[in-house]
Structure 1
Amino acid sequence: MLKRMIVALIVIGLVGLGAFWWLTIPATVAPSSLPAYRANVANGQVMFNAGGCSSCHAVPNQPDRLNLGGGLAIPSPFGTFYAPNISPDPNDGIGRWSEADFVTALAKGTSPSGTHYYPAFPYTSYQRAKTDDIRDLFAYLKTLVPVSGRVREHDMPFPFNIRRTLGVWKLLFLDGKPFVADPARSAAWNRGAYLVNGFGHCAECHSPRNFLGGIVEQQRFAGGPNPEGEGWVPNITQKRLGDWSAKDIDFFLELGQTPEGDTAGGSMVRVIRNTSQLPPAERAAMAEYVKSLPPVEGPPRPKRKSGQEGK
């Protein structure tokens, strides 16, 4: 009897391991699935600025936002990530990547070597992007100056350093659905919705997250604890921005100034460096969409400790 139980447990364990291995296979985009296409580099530049690629991937503490050698430390509850080199350097950047490699990375969160990327790389938003726009972005990146220098590995404790487990995370939070326009809305609103929810990945910072690190969809855009561990990311629904007009939001995305005369701070400064470069129509579309977000109550903000008032 005991022998049968042991055999049964071994079989169950092997079946479970096999199921885990099969369910967590990193998804890829086959080169054959990408039809012939002539990339639009100018559009790729728009996607680059909408996505704020240089906000994370520019070398820290230097003025050139197109110096994409990476290295920015991104703290999180799960460990510290280091933004990689995405310059066209053939050894340390993405210079040897194929177009399919790049589409796979953004749409599936899978590296050219076939491993899962951590969702600090916001592919849960990038999956909404059109494949042609991703291809245009890749073409634009290839026009930039190669930057040598390999970025250090992420600092992830066990069990978060086991990348294969991210396949389970993707089953929960990566649905693979493209952006779908709302026919009841204007072309500008739909363009803004596409940019904000896709390349702009605004919800990735402006939404609270659950214990697994996934966005709490019921409070999308409602702000919450800074994923990097310090401070509070503001609610950008009409719960907080009800007094702002679409022009106010547009102005903020261009110059980083609020209607009250305050200026953007923290990581938003890096974001503004990118959105300020967008064509006015693109920025206005994003503002129109953000202004339309219904009021959503965010998570309660912790009370300041005694002696910290005004800080």
Structure 2
Amino acid sequence: MRRLLVTLLVLAAVAAAIGLYLIRPDPLPDDALAGLVGDAARGERMFWAAGCSSCHAAAEAKDDAKLVLTGGQRFPSPFGTFVAPNISNDPDHGIGGWSDLDLANAMLRGVSPHGTHYYPVFPYVSYAGAELQDVVDLRAFLATLPADPTPSASHEVGFPFSIRLGLGGWKLLFGGDGSPVVTGDLTEEETRGRYLAEVLGHCGECHTPRNALGAMERGRWLAGGPVPAGKGSFPNITPAKLDWSEADIVEYLTSGFTPDYDSAGGHMALVVQNTAKLPQEDRAAIAAYLKKVPPAE
């Protein structure tokens, strides 16, 4: 009996060790960015495509204040309320002390410079498909923005979701590997649109329904779903519901006006402020991509 007990304890310890290994933070290799040099001018385009200011600027920020990434916006969900952190150039309370690799690990792997998991409210599941050069360029642009000393507020997340180590298990089940959702024979423009919409623009994070554990249901890509805060819903933007022409979509991403003379509201108004700063060909690429998304009711 004693031998059996010792054997079971050993097996349990081995299983625990394997489990901890599997759910550990998994950063990029130290040499992942070797030879890459950031271009701040190109990084500005990445900044608007990725929508950084929509979440990380102060809630009521306008004009140049949208470039002060002080954080503080609150995002309620069934798992708790998440608060956008300060990602300004402040070395103590922002990301002024981050390296290019730190940003790449955060965006592509959901791992902090301290080696802990980020919550997937930060859309690293989508960003996992980002080109490393784009991340380096984005870091170069972020370094040109103002520093703000406002400390980041803590998330308001209760047990068991407050145990970040458990996020490693979530990542094993649902973490992004960078593979595209819409596949097939795409034109160069449609492929560019897929990258902008699926990866940098992370459209699926709002417009795709989620399962009970908060993971996107990729089989119902962009089919819409309830707002995590519990009020309202995100619209279905697949061809099953979105019957706008490509020109209509481009106009909406430029001015926020719909073909019915309505206008973008809520957080989507902030998204349009970002897409309006992209080159016309990028908005056209997104429109072309949306026409290739499989219809989903």
Query: TM-score under structure 1 normalisation?
Result: 0.90
Is the CA contact (8 Å cut-off) linking 1:181 and 1:190 kept in structure 2? no
May I ask how many residue pairs the two structures share in their alignment?
295
Q: Distance in 1 between matches of 2:24 and 2:260?
A: 50
What is the aligned partner in structure 1 of residue 53 from structure 2? 54
What is the aligned partner in structure 2 of residue 303 from structure 1? none
CA 1:39–1:275 in structure 2 vs 1: closer, same or farther (change >3 Å)?
A: same
Matches within 5 A, 1:1-311: 1=1, 3-4=2-3, 6-63=5-62, 64-177=65-178, 184-242=185-243, 244-297=244-297
CA 1:202–1:175 in structure 2 vs 1: closer, same or farther (change >3 Å)?
A: closer
Secondary structure (helix, strand or coil) at the match of 2:76 reads strand
Gaps of at least 5 residues in structure 1 are 298-311
Superposed CA offset, 1:237-282 (max 9, x none): 011112x001111111111111111111111111111111111111
Shift of 1:59: 1.3
Secondary structure (helix, strand or coil) at the match of 1:239 reads coil
Is the CA contact (8 Å cut-off) linking 2:127 and 2:178 kept in structure 1? no
Secondary structure (helix, strand or coil) at the match of 1:196 reads helix
Gaps of at least 5 residues in structure 2 are none
Shift of 1:56: 0.4
Secondary structure (helix, strand or coil) at the match of 2:82 reads strand
Work out the percentage of aligned pairs sharing the same amino acid. 46
Q: Distance in 2 between matches of 1:77 and 1:183?
A: 35
Q: Which amino acid aligns with 1:221?
A: L
Superposed CA offset, 1:139-172 (max 9, x none): 1100111111111111111000000111111111
CA 1:232–1:275 in structure 2 vs 1: closer, same or farther (change >3 Å)?
A: same
Q: Which amino acid aligns with 1:286?
A: I
Q: Which amino acid aligns with 1:22?
A: Y
Is the CA contact (8 Å cut-off) linking 1:54 and 1:65 kept in structure 2? yes
Secondary structure (helix, strand or coil) at the match of 1:133 reads helix
Superposed CA offset, 1:157-191 (max 9, x none): 10000001111111112242355996832211111
Shift of 1:4: 4.8
